[in-house]
Amino acid sequence: MAFLYSFPLPMILVVAVLLLQIHHSHSLNCTSQKFTSNRVYDNCDDLPNLSSYLHWTYDSSNSSLKIAFLAPPSGSDGWISWSINPEGKQMIGCQALIAYKVDEKITVKTFNVSSYKIAPSKIAYQVSDTEAEYSDGIMKIFATIALPANLTTINQVWQVGSTVVDGIPAKHAMLPENLKSMGTLDLTVKEKSTSGGKRNGIPIFLIFACFWFLFAY
Ligand SMILES: *[C@@H]1O[C@H](CO)[C@@H](O)[C@H](O)[C@H]1NC(C)=O
Ligand SMILES: *[C@@H]1O[C@H](CO)[C@@H](O)[C@H](O)[C@H]1NC(C)=O
Ligand SMILES: *[C@@H]1O[C@H](CO)[C@@H](O)[C@H](O)[C@H]1NC(C)=O
Ligand SMILES: *[C@@H]1O[C@H](CO)[C@@H](O)[C@H](O)[C@H]1NC(C)=O
Ligand SMILES: CC(=O)N[C@H]1CO[C@H](CO)[C@@H](O)[C@@H]1O
């Protein structure tokens, strides 16, 4: 108990709250996810399945879509993918960006998914600035995609898998989550709105802890 007396309780509370925030940083809303300074996005969405997040900026002047897609692969040697499907909300037809390890290095490759047997290939869009990261169980895909002019919405499909076989991402699980990971991205949404609610807020617990701290002195 000597520890408690020598350390003010409110301080302990603040530290505990901070630790809690750090511990849960992966499951928090996308608004709390930050990238290095040169990666800033106007919008972010907490995607409804597979603990995935999309950060994006659409520039209508040149119809370029800059994205960061984050998801936990379902195995440490697995893969994540984010696609645009001009044909519908389904796997076949996906113009996919897939991140996985190639020679131990996490890489992004493009796949024109025209059947259940996939291989790296060109896709319907010009893709630049691709980069992948993998840390703390989360993979990230960064890319800029040149879209046809004047689109207002795109079909997005995302997925995660647990294995890569002979350099090709292998079949994903067929759980409900895996089969519902698709939706519409509204490119006309103006900056700083998200389907996931709160943006850039100070966590309420932290505010409470600070008030507590003030009252205690
Ligand atoms: C589109 O324009 C923005 C600036 O408005 C620029 O940062 C980006 O590189 C351009 N994208 C392409 C694909 O030309
Ligand atoms: C993707 O595959 C489909 C079906 O084979 C083909 O029609 C289409 O031209 C391909 N797209 C690209 C960009 O190669
Ligand atoms: C896109 O919209 C602009 C303005 O409405 C128009 O001038 C342009 O021709 C359109 N481009 C295409 C490819 O449809
Ligand atoms: C997947 O997302 C839909 C909303 O698009 C939601 O209704 C459903 O509960 C989610 N399923 C799982 C297994 O998380
Ligand atoms: C994972 C998570 O914290 N999701 C929350 C994001 O924000 C919405 C709306 O505020 C909550 O309903 C979610 O629980």
* 174 and 132 Cβ atoms separated by less than 8 Å: no
Instruction: Give the residue, by CA position, lying nearest to ligand 2 atom 6.
Output: 114
- Does the beta carbon of 113 sit less than 6 angstroms from any atom of ligand 2? no
Q: Any idea which ligand is nearest the CA of 110?
A: 2
Nearest bound ligand to the CA of residue 184: 4
Half-sphere exposure at residue 185, Cβ-oriented, CA atoms within 13 angstroms: 29
| Contact 122 CB / ligand 2 (< 6 Å) | yes
Measure the CA–CA gap between 96 and 108, rounded to whole angstroms: 10
| DSSP type of residue 120 | B
**Cα distance between residue 154 and residue 180, in whole Å:** 16
pLDDT at residue 175 in the model: 86
State the distance from the centre of ligand 4 to the C-alpha of 49, rounded, in angstroms.
6
Classify residue 132 as exposed, middle or buried by CB count within 10 Å of its CB (0-12, 13-18, 19+): buried
Q: Whose CA is nearest to atom 9 of ligand 5?
A: 197
One digit per residue, the tens of pLDDT, for the chain of length 217 reads 444 444 455 554 444 444 444 434 445 589 999 898 789 999 999 999 999 999 999 999 999 999 999 999 999 999 999 999 999 999 999 999 999 999 999 999 999 999 989 999 999 999 999 999 999 999 999 999 999 999 999 999 999 999 999 999 998 988 888 888 999 999 998 755 444 333 344 444 443 444 444 444 4
**Domains, the chain, ordered by start:** 1-29+202-217 (no CATH), 43-191 (2.60.40.1210)
- With a 6 A CB cut-off, is 61 part of the ligand 3 pocket? no
* DSSP tally for the chain: helices H, then strands E: 4, 12
Distance 58 CA to ligand 1 centre (A): 9
